[in-house]
Amino acid sequence: MLDILLVTFPFFALVLCGYVAARRRMLPLDAIPGLNTFVLYFALPCMLYRFGASTPVSQLLDVAAGSVYLLCALAMVAFIVWASRNSRIGWNDASFGALVGAFPNTGFMGVPLLVALLGAAAAGPAILTILVDLVITSSLCIALSRLDGADEHGAEKAAKNALKGVAVNPMPWAIVLGGISSALHLQFVAPVAQTIGLLADCASPVALFTIGAVMARSQFVATREDHPPMPMRDFVPVSLFKLLAHPLLVWAAGRGAIALGLPLDEFALKVMVLVAALPSASNVALLAERFGADTGRIARIILLTTAAAFLTFSGAVALLK
């Protein structure tokens, strides 16, 4: 267990550094969107491209693994929406609660962390889960969030807007371009490859620092919202579903798929279980703010899952080893 903590500690320590820097205003809150833009549009796509280009295409197009992970994501969304809706939480808040409960922080944290723990082979299954969450899980939850509106076409319009958001998101395109490069054995000329390498190398530390800063900013935004104190039952159960139920569900579904004879690789299943054990994606707070959901609730779930995942994620790694 100690050797696992020695690997995971620096990753969570960088998140804490970003959180403290933003909380103490060492990092101006107005600078955080720019930091997030650098990670999302420059550093992280280069990192994903590099991993994608060095990963066999068969791993990026693993239908069995993608189907198992997607089925579990849909089950998590359906269950959390059903369990969350009440007189205080409507479709909008329930849907973003489901998204934060089913969408792991794979891009900013998971890929570099899993590669550090399991080796470069972990990048393929992890990247596959990013595609599922970006294209399907997030689009579905955004569409469901519009069911509170009076416009009967609200959900359809939201789904189309979500898909447009995916189309302009550089992360899926970086993965696709990496897959094409892998399949065709393409390589950039040396100066371009070195530039991509520099951006890819800085992606992990800057992304982890940004996670902490985004969480702190989300808390500041939440404090400006005028609402009564939030009961713990509105955010603690979703946090537990994310950290405990999600990886258990992926493990059970994967074992069931293997028992049924589906060609699901044991190593790919291990990676997907650990992806599900990651804390909630920090960018859900930005989406919740944009669509008028309860940012305070989302921020609490992200903060709680990120803090607790230092132990729960490390425990999951120890169990699977």
Domain ranges of the chain: 37-204+227-320
> pLDDT band at 222, cuts 50/70/90?
low
Q: Region 207-219: what's the mean pLDDT?
A: 88
**CA distances to 89, 100, 158, 316 from 154, in Å:** 18, 21, 6, 40
Residues 4 and 134 sit within 8 Å (Cβ to Cβ): no
pLDDT for 35-49, tens place per residue? 988 998 999 999 999
Average pLDDT, the chain: 88
DSSP 317: H
Residue at token pair 């600078």: 31
Quote the pLDDT of residue 95: 93
Sign of CA dihedral 120, 63, 280, 242: negative
Q: Are 293 and 92 in contact (CB under 8 A)?
A: yes
| Separation CA 5–CA 311 (nearest Å) | 8
3-state secondary structure of 194: helix
pLDDT of residue 158: 65
Could you tell me if 274 and 317 are in contact, meaning their C-beta atoms sit under 8 angstroms apart?
yes
pLDDT the model gives residue 225: 61
pLDDT at residue 154, rounded to an integer: 59
**At residue 78, does pLDDT exceed 60?**
yes
Contacts of 85 (CB under 8 A, 6+ apart): 91, 94
Task: Tell me the CATH number for domain 37-204+227-320.
Answer: 1.20.1530
Residue 234's nearest CA partner among 314, 287, 299 is 299
291/228 Cα distance (integer angstroms): 21
| pTM metric for this prediction | 0.88
21 touches 213 (CB < 8 A): yes
| Among the listed residues 319, 235, 220, the one whose alpha carbon sits nearest the alpha carbon of residue 270 | 319
